[in-house]
Amino acid sequence: MSNELYAVVGHPINHSKSPKIHSQFAQQTGEPIEYTAVQAPLEGFAATVHQFFKGGGKGLNVTVPFKEQAWELADCRAVRAEKAGAANTLYQNQEGQLVADNTDGHGLVRDLLANHGVQLKGAHILVLGAGGAVRGVLGPVLEQQPASLTIANRTVAKAEALTTLFADEAGAATLSACGFDEPDQPFDVIINGTSASLQGDLPPLCANVITAGTVVYDMMYSLQTTTFNQWALDNGALRVFDGLGMLIEQAAESFRVWRGVRPETAPVIDAMRND
């Protein structure tokens, strides 16, 4: 039997770790898949997607800058992708419709809960940022029933818009928005979803948000400790994590959506950490 074809689409795409991650999943599970990386022209995302599925492709991951376009292009969306406003997973259903899913939030929550043993239920959570990355994870985070979720952003209006959008998902959690300099009380969990670290910048937070019990998660990952995680450690955080586990957990969830088989993530996280 010949392999079934999957790919990640982005621009640029040459640094993507997804082909390596998915080939390890394929090897481990014995699923007959081939997974490649495709660079779509900036103005040619839709054409690239249609061509891929027309050519017999089975599933796509979508990355920067096309996640919002993937969400718009789809004929239908998984429930968890609806409010995310962005999709990282595409496939065709039995009727040949293009389905969009978003596994990023699932990946973040699973990395925190299953890999790091961090409980979100009843926790006071501070989320930094209000862009696409944060919007993509808020639903699954709120599903864990935190006591409160505070969204802090440089542009406060964007954080406020997210609290309005996710008001229905908040349940008993207190959902609020503010600027970076406003929170001065300790949080149990702080999630950095800004792209500030990419520029080596730090959101100007009051150090009181961190105590000896605070867990910090930077959705970015890098070989060195991220700028934000280093700041958290310098201010006495209990533990800091970067987004490598989230990257591999979102990939595993896409693999499960496509193939119906969930790969083991721990060996892949170890392998990629040392890659």
- Shortest gap between Cβ of 101 and ligand ATR (angstroms)? 17
Instruction: Compare residues 32 and 204 and give the one whose CB is closer to ligand ATR.
Output: 204
Which CB atom, from 26 or from 175, has the smaller least distance to ligand ATR? 175
Nearest distance, CB of residue 153 and ligand ATR, angstroms: 5
Contact predicate 203/196, CB 8 Å: yes
Torsion angles phi and psi, residue 12, rounded to 5: -75, 170
**C-alpha to C-alpha distance for 262 and 16, rounded to whole angstroms:** 21
| 223 C-beta neighbours (distance < 10 Å), count | 8
Q: Determine whether 67 is an active site residue.
A: yes
Min CB(197)–ligand ATR separation in Å: 9
Q: How far is the CB of 179 from ligand ATR (least distance, A)?
A: 10
Backbone φ and ψ of 81, nearest 5°:
-90, -20
Q: Distance between CA 142 and CA 127 in Å, rounded?
A: 11
> Partners of 218 in the beta sheet?
192
- Spatial strand order of the sheet with 89-92 comes to 33-39, 4-10, 59-62, 89-92, 98-101, 76-77
- What count of other Cβ atoms lies within 10 Å of the Cβ of residue 44? 12
Least distance CB 152 / ligand ATR (angstroms): 9
- Which residue of the chain is nearest ligand ATR when measured via CB? 131
- CB nearer ligand ATR, residue 130 or residue 191: 130
Residue closer to ligand ATR, measured from CB, 24 or 102: 102
Q: Is the CB of 25 or the CB of 187 nearer to ligand ATR?
A: 187
Cis before residue 32, ω within 30 degrees of 0?
no
Select 128 or 210, whichever has its Cβ closest to ligand ATR. 128
Q: Which of 20, 67, 121, 158 is catalytic?
A: 67
What residues make contact with ligand ATR under the rule CB under 6 A?
A: 129-133, 153-155, 158, 194-196, 199, 201, 203
Are 37 and 18 a contacting pair, CB within 8 Å? Answer: yes
Amino acid at 139: G
- Output phi, psi for 56, to 5 deg: 100, 0
Least distance between ligand ATR and beta carbon 209 (Å) = 15
- Give dist(CA 239, CA 261) in Å, integer: 31
Burial class (CB in 10 A: 0-12, 13-18, 19+), 73: middle
Catalytically active residues are: 67
